[in-house]
Each structure stands twice: as C-alpha cells, then as structure tokens.
Amino acid sequence: MAPSAITPPQGVQETSELTAAAVAGKIAQTAPGLLKRVADPLNSGVKTTLRPLDASRLRFTRTTTPMTVPQPGDPIIATASQCTDHMITAVWRSTTGWGDPELRPYGNLSLAPTASVLHYATECFEGMKMYRGFDRKLRLFRPDSNCKRMLVSSTRIALPGFDPKELEKLIIAMIAVDGPKWLPKAGTFLYLRPTMIGSAGALGVATPKEATLFVIATFMPPLGAPQGLKLLASTDGVRAWPGGFGFAKVGANYGPSLMANGEARARGYDQVLWLLNGQITEAGASNFFVMWKSKEGKTQLVTAPLGDKIILDGVTRRSILQLTRERLSHGRTGQDPVEIVERQFTMEDIVQAVNEGRILEAFAAGTAYFVCPVSVIHYKNQDLQIPMSQGDSGPYTALVKSWLVDIMYGREQHEWGVVVEEEQPF
Ligand SMILES: *Cc1c(COP(=O)(O)O)cnc(C)c1O
C-alpha cells in the first residue's frame, strides 16, 4: 500500500496527528479485546502472533523466608517501603509478547544500566488499595477502572498493551496469597502499586523491545491533614499542558513536581494546587473539588473536566461524581439539590466566591489521600479561608467520604466493592 493511501485510524482527523494515530494503532494491536472499537488500517498487515498477557498461566514460587508484619506504630510503616512477601512479575518481549506471569518472593529487580526506563522515563503505574472490610472480607475498589487506566498510560509511553482483565486477575491472585497474613485487621488497608517499565537494555530513543510488569503491595502511613489540607496555588510551573500527558499515570509527571511541592511544604502548606493559565487543574496527585453557591444561588459541586486531557481521570473523582449525581442532585431531605458540574474554573472564580461568601467547602480526592477537606488556599500572597463547618470537614465532604468508606469496607454492598476470595480462609 502506498503511504498516501494510509488513512488515519478512526477519531484521528489529520495525517499529522501522530500521537493519536500511534495510540489508536497500539491499542488495536496489543489488546485484542478492544479491537472492535478501534479501526486499525495502519497495523492491518501486522501478524499478531505475539502472546497476550494471560493470568491463567501464572506460576507460583512461594517465599521460603517470610517477612515479619510490622505492628501498628512501627516506624517502618511511615517510610512506605515495607512490602508484603510476594510480588507479581511478567516480562514482555517485542519478538514473543508476554511471558508467563509469576508470583514470586518480593525482591529487587535486575536492570541493565542501559534500561530504557532509566533514561527515557518509560514507566507508568497505578495506585490502588486493598481493604479489610468490617465484615472481614478482603476487597478491591473498582479494580477494573485502574487496570483500564494502566493500559491508557502504558500506551501513551509506547509500552506494550494487555487485556486489563488479565492484570486484574493477577492483582487478585497476589492479594489472595498475601491478604490473610498482611492485612488481618478490620477497617485497614494496604497500598497496591502495579507498575510497568521499559526494561530493554539499549540506549537510543526508541520504543523499548522489552518491558516488565510488576505488582507490589506496601504499607503506607495515614495521609491527610487533621486541620484540613492547606494548598498553595502555583502561579509559575505547570503540571500538564494541552497535548501533553497529564491524563496518564506516568512517572514522568511526578519527578518534575517535587521542587514546587518541597517549596510549598517549606512554607507550611501541604500540597501544590496546580493551575494552567489560571485554571484550576489538580491538587498534588489528587483531583480537586469545590462546592459553592453559584452567582445565581445554586448549590454546585465543581471539578475540572477531562475533555482537554490535562488532568488524571481519577477513580475516586469518577466515583464521587456518580454518587453525588445519584444521591444529591435531587436534594436530600431539607437540603437544596446539588448541581454537579465538570467545567473549567479559575482561581479568580474562587477568590470571588470567597469574597462574596459563596464558598461552602473544598476537598481533594484520590486513592492515596482519599477524600481530604481543604481549609486554606494560598494564592497571590493571600490565604483564602475555606469553611470546614464541622470542625474537621465540611458536611458534604464528610458525607461523600462516608459513602465511599461504606462501599470500600463492606458496610454497603455495592458492585464497586469487589470481594477477593483468599487462599487461607480468614
Ligand atoms: C492518581 C492520581 C489521582 C487520583 O486518582 P485515583 O484514581 O482517584 O487514585 C489524581 N491526580 C493525579 C495527578 C494522580 O496521579
């Protein structure tokens, strides 16, 4: 076929839309389950004999040197470095596809100094939690969403695709083994970190010919701020930009944010509120929500939109939007209905709402920090006070948080709370 005859994949407008075309082609090529939705003329000549990621081929190698579980208060917990006994690994090669995944003892990886990830940031990850319910069952919260997002992220940085369902099965297999020993206490969680890296040892800016997927579980200190999060709005650096990769959970988004974050902390704030041309995008590595009375007097819950691909499509964000639409948009007894709005809004909008007494509450939302009330936003030499009328939170923030807690820890039976059958009966 002559190059001029190549038509871009569906959804791609111009032959010069390189990233969109490459991403569409990659998804079609590497995740057959998604093929139907993506036309793939660019890759129609490619033989897809590469082996897909297949959780049914998982090989088990148990640890012979089990570690000790730290007790509450052990300083190791605060370091977020203590992992559980096992991890999942799987290696992909451009010539053969995915090898058999393994569950094996937690331990160091071995990488060539020329490994792609060490030079070109070919890394993406997910952040999830496993929860020990009040009913003693082990749960994940919407793991399908995390696994699908991991595919979006890996594709964005030219790492191989996979069927998200297979990744979900691998995560479940791992926590079925480590859950009973490492997460015995009702109402607690461990953090899960599925990761993929370009592990091929070869310099040269090129798509890595080898990638390694791994899944680890760690302890994490309780995050959040009892007095509410204090945010410092950054008026110089930006986290993400149009056409960039702010929507992907790729490591390259985070290293460059550390200087601003360190500076914010040194000044007594907890997180950076990231802006783009004055528009509010995200708070640190979590999505940002504000609740206010609109100028017309409507109660609104507002958060930045996904359409311009500047912000991360948070699972917590999505869940909050869906639950508030279901449960608040018609008004609770004795309360005004709440309008749920995904739209661009600016720091100037916040300043005006504060000055006019229309600000009701604000919070940051993500898996790590969960739902965290915001008490202060610093912007242009001013500390804007955000009400926390219940002392440690605003009422809607507390309500939304309690809904999610109930689903995560099994107080409310909900399709988002996925129960994991453990190896040893608990
Ligand atoms: C992970 C992350 C979030 C939160 O996403 P969840 O799926 O809710 O955990 C938000 N913003 C950024 C930049 C993130 O990295």
The answer to whether the CB of 105 falls within 8 A of the CB of 65 is yes
What's the gap in Å between 267 CA and the centre of ligand 1? 24
The whole-angstrom separation of Cα 353 and Cα 278 is: 15
Which residue among 141, 367, 404 is best mutated to probe the pocket of ligand 1, counting the most ligand atoms within 8 A of its Cβ?
Answer: 367
CB distance 164 to ligand 1 below 6 Å: no
Does the beta carbon of 116 sit less than 6 angstroms from any atom of ligand 1? no
Distance of CA 270 from the midpoint of ligand 1 (Å): 16
Q: Give the 3-state secondary structure of 183-207.
A: CCCCCEEEEEEEEEEECCECCCCCC
User: Where does 74-115 have alpha helices with state H?
Assistant: 75-78
* CATH architecture classification, 229-408: Alpha-Beta Barrel (3.20)
174 CB-near residues (< 8 Å, 6+ apart): 86, 87, 88, 103, 215, 217
271 lines ligand 1 (CB under 6 A): no
- Is any ligand 1 atom within 6 A of the Cβ of residue 315? yes
- Contact 169/55 with Cβ under 8 angstroms? yes
Say if CB 262 and CB 287 are below 8 A apart.
no
Query: Does the beta carbon of 285 sit less than 6 angstroms from any atom of ligand 1?
Result: yes
Cβ atoms of residues 182 and 69 within 8 Å: yes
Query: Considering only the top CATH level, what class is 16-218?
Result: alpha beta
Residue 54 CA, ligand 1 centroid: distance in Å: 27
Ligand 1 atom with minimal separation from the 282 CA:
11
Are the C-beta atoms of residues 17 and 1 closer than 8 Å to each other?
A: no
The CA distance from 132 to 233, in Å, is 36
Alpha-carbon dihedral angle through residues 204, 208, 210, 215, given to the nearest 10 degrees: 120
In terms of Cα–Cα distance, which of 102, 106, 69 is closest to 217? Answer: 106
Q: Residue-wise over 200-228: b if at least 16 C-beta within 10 A, else e?
A: beeeeeebbebbbbbbbbbbbeeeebeeb
> Which pLDDT score, from 0 to 100, does residue 45 have?
52
Domain ranges of the chain: 16-218, 229-408
Q: What is the pLDDT of residue 4?
A: 47
Residues 327 and 337: their CA atoms lie apart, in Å, by: 9
pLDDT at 18: 86
Measured by CA distance, the residue closest to atom 12 of ligand 1 is 285
The answer, yes or no, to whether any atom of ligand 1 lies below 6 A from the CB of 30, is no
d(CA 184, CA 191): 14
Nearest-atom index, ligand 1, CA of 319 = 8
Rounded distance between C-alpha atoms, residue 262 and residue 259, angstroms: 5
**Ordered mean pLDDT values, 10 residues apiece, the chain (426 residues):** 53 77 75 43 58 97 96 92 97 96 98 98 98 98 98 96 97 98 96 98 95 97 84 95 96 96 96 97 97 97 96 98 95 84 98 98 96 97 95 95 98 98 83
SS3 375: strand
Contact (CB, 8 A) for 340 and 346: no
Q: What is the dihedral of CA 318, 290, 78, 238, to 10 degrees?
A: 90
